[in-house]
Amino acid sequence: MKTLKQLERLRKAHKLIQQGNTGSPKEFSRRLYISERELYRILEYLKELDAKIVFSRASNSYYYDCDFDLLVNVSVKALVNQELVTIYAGAAVLNRILETTLFNTYNDRIRHCTKLT
């Protein structure tokens, strides 16, 4: 369940940044129900995905400095009896995949920003 919450927070953070409606870091973290420190971790993670995130004091909001999109899709289906064991057996593997491969794959797909040289 922890992974689902993290993905939902990431999705919500992205949506608020896209809308330019985050507020200050303190307000932003409250909207996500997390600490400011955890907010900075999320922002760092998005930056690792090549998101150019900037804070505007004039509008008091974070925004993307160039085109960036993030697609987070999660599907959960409850199964019964023996099939439920399969879900639990795959939970540790899913966490490992979500932390590495899945996001690296999305990273390749969602790069829209080009570096100015």
- Domains of the chain, by residue range, sit at 2-110
CA dihedral 114, 7, 25, 50 (to 10 degrees): -10
What fold characterizes domain 2-110? Answer: Arc Repressor Mutant, subunit A (1.10.10)
Beta-strand ranges (E) seen in the chain are 53-56, 61-64
Q: What is the pLDDT of residues 83-107, one digit of tens each?
A: 655 555 555 555 555 555 445 544 4
pTM: 0.64
Asked if residues 72 and 18 have their Cβ atoms less than 8 Å apart, the reply is no
Residues of the chain with pLDDT under 50: 101-102, 105-117
Distance of CA 95 to the CA centre of its chain: 14
Q: Is 56 helix (H, G, I), strand (E, B) or coil?
A: strand
Q: How far apart are CA 30 and CA 8, in angstroms?
A: 15
Q: Residue 96: its pLDDT value, please? A: 53
